[in-house]
Amino acid sequence: MNKLLRVVVLVVISAPAFAVTWQQPTAEELSMSVQPEVPGADAVVLYREETTDDREESASGLDAYGSDAKLNFHTLYERIKILTEAGKRYADVRIEYPGQLFSIADVQGRTIHKDGSVTPFTGKPYQKEIQKLNKIAINETVFTMPDVQVGSILEYRYVLRYDAMRASPPQWYIQRELFLRTANYRFRPSGHDLIDSHGAIFHGASYTTVLPKGAQVKYISSQNAYELVVHNISPIPDEELMPPVHSLSYRVLFYYTAADSPGEFWKTEGGYWSKESNRFASAPKLRDAVSKIVSPSDSEPQKIAKIYDAVMQLENTSFTRGHTRAENKAAGLKVKTADDIWEQKRGNADEITLLFIGLVRAAGMKAYAMVVTDRDTDLFQVNYLTTYQLKDYVAIAQVDG
> pLDDT of the chain along its 401 residues, tens only?
445 554 443 333 233 333 448 999 999 999 999 999 999 999 999 999 999 998 765 444 444 444 444 458 899 999 999 999 999 999 999 988 776 778 888 899 999 999 999 999 998 888 876 555 455 667 788 999 999 999 999 999 999 888 777 788 899 999 999 999 999 999 999 877 788 777 777 777 899 999 999 999 999 999 889 999 999 999 987 777 777 766 678 999 999 888 888 999 999 999 999 999 999 999 889 999 999 999 999 999 999 999 999 999 999 988 886 666 667 677 666 778 999 999 989 888 999 999 999 999 999 999 999 999 887 777 888 988 888 889 899 999 999 98
Q: How far apart are CA 137 and CA 130, in angstroms?
A: 5
Instruction: Indicate if 244 and 267 belong to the same structural domain.
Output: no
- Closest among 110, 105, 125 to 64, alpha carbons compared: 105
The last residue of one of the domains, among 232, 258, 284, is 258
Instruction: Indicate if 321 and 355 belong to the same structural domain.
Output: yes
Range of the domain at 146: 5-258
Instruction: Indicate if 138 and 267 belong to the same structural domain.
Output: no
How much is the pLDDT for 317? 85
Instruction: Indicate if 291 and 152 belong to the same structural domain.
Output: no
Instruction: Indicate if 254 and 270 belong to the same structural domain.
Output: no
Instruction: Indicate if 82 and 190 belong to the same structural domain.
Output: yes
User: With b meaning 16 or more CB within 10 Å and e meaning fewer, what string describes 248-263?
Assistant: ebbbbbbbbbbbeeee
Residue 93 contacts residue 144 (beta carbons within 8 Å) = yes
The last residue of one of the domains, among 203, 225, 258, is 258
Q: How far apart are CA 200 and CA 137, in angstroms?
A: 25
The enclosing H or E element of 175 equals none
Instruction: Indicate if 64 and 192 belong to the same structural domain.
Output: yes
Instruction: Indicate if 198 and 246 belong to the same structural domain.
Output: yes
- Closest among 104, 112, 103 to 145, alpha carbons compared: 112
Q: How many domains does the chain have?
A: 2
How are beta strands 179-188 and 43-53 bridged, if at all?
parallel
Phi-psi region for residue 389, left (φ > 0), alpha (ψ -120 to 50) or beta?
alpha
Residue 190 contacts residue 166 (beta carbons within 8 Å) = no
Instruction: Indicate if 355 and 294 belong to the same structural domain.
Output: yes
What is the 3-state composition of the chain as percent helix, strand, coil, each rounded to the nearest 5?
A: 20, 35, 45
Q: How far apart are CA 249 and CA 246, in angstroms?
A: 5
How are beta strands 138-144 and 201-203 bridged, if at all?
unpaired
How much is the pLDDT for 104? 86
The last residue of one of the domains, among 242, 258, 274, is 258
3-state secondary structure of 285: coil
3-state secondary structure of 336: coil
Instruction: Indicate if 355 and 301 belong to the same structural domain.
Output: yes
How much is the pLDDT for 140? 83
Q: How far apart are CA 389 and CA 392, in angstroms?
A: 9
Q: What is the CATH number of the domain that holds 47?
A: 2.60.40.3140
How much is the pLDDT for 387? 87
Instruction: Indicate if 95 and 174 belong to the same structural domain.
Output: yes
Q: How far apart are CA 264 and CA 174, in angstroms?
A: 29
How much is the pLDDT for 112? 97
Q: What is the CATH number of the domain that holds 331?
A: 3.10.620.30
How much is the pLDDT for 217? 96
Instruction: Indicate if 249 and 386 belong to the same structural domain.
Output: no
